[in-house]
Amino acid sequence: MLTGKVSLITGGSRGIGRAIALELAARGSDIALLYAGNTAAAEATCRDLTEKGVNARCYQCDVSNFAASKAAVAAVIKDMGGVDVLVNNAGITKDGLIFTMKEADFDAVLDTNLKGTFNMIKHCYGHFLKKRSGSIINISSISGLMGNAGQANYSASKAGVIGLTKAVARELAGRNVTCNAIAPGFITTDMTEDLDKFPMLESIPLGRPGQPEDVAELAGFLAEAGYITGEVIRVDGGLAI
């Protein structure tokens, strides 16, 4: 169980991030929730978390900003006494075929999804080294494994997260810190509100999209698992078999 632990979750106000926060709280962890801009949703999630009997605090932060993410990590460590579990969930999409994709849209997705993950790991790195323990869970995507037409920026960012996960796992294993990635398929969230329009849904062997809780259950398991590192685990209903 995670009683007495602190979990820092980026993009934690809604969707998969919110579900992970609730799951880790149910396992006893206090929660530091980072969000980009939806203060109302973040505060509502924090209220739901405190109702589970854990300490929960919200911090507004653009994870793509190196200095801002450093300040947020420092604030969490000061306010909550440390970080035991880091969940890098913050992500955005700006879809389009490469022919029409704007450079700014490519850069924005890479900056949030990949550089944002690097920023958070970078700023927690020394803390984990000193503690000689910790768990890092990066939310990738099957788009990073398979590629997806119209999502060159998103697929590239999530493939980068997988490479980053494996590198970090090797670097930190000697200090008893694990680093794993979860690769969701089509999960019903605000980001995928037009999910029924994707023809690939017909290719899911289980015949349905997943729920945020499906991802959260795996995140809870990985947060407690001490002998699994460098893995990329799909939660996709069999889509990428």
Q: Which of 35, 59, 154, 227 is catalytic?
A: 154
**Cβ within 8 Å of residue 46, ≥6 positions away:** 31, 33, 56, 57, 58
Q: For residues 175 and 172, give the distance between their C-alpha atoms in angstroms, rounded to a whole number.
A: 5
CB 155 within 8 A of CB 144: yes
The distance of Cα 51 from the centroid of its chain, to the nearest Å, equals: 23
Q: Check if 154 is active-site.
A: yes
CB 180 within 8 A of CB 136: yes
CB 231 within 8 A of CB 180: yes
Q: For residues 58 and 46, give the distance between their C-alpha atoms in angstroms, rounded to a whole number.
A: 7
**Cβ within 8 Å of residue 203, ≥6 positions away:** 239
Q: For residues 211 and 185, give the distance between their C-alpha atoms in angstroms, rounded to a whole number.
A: 10
Q: Which residues are catalytic?
A: 154
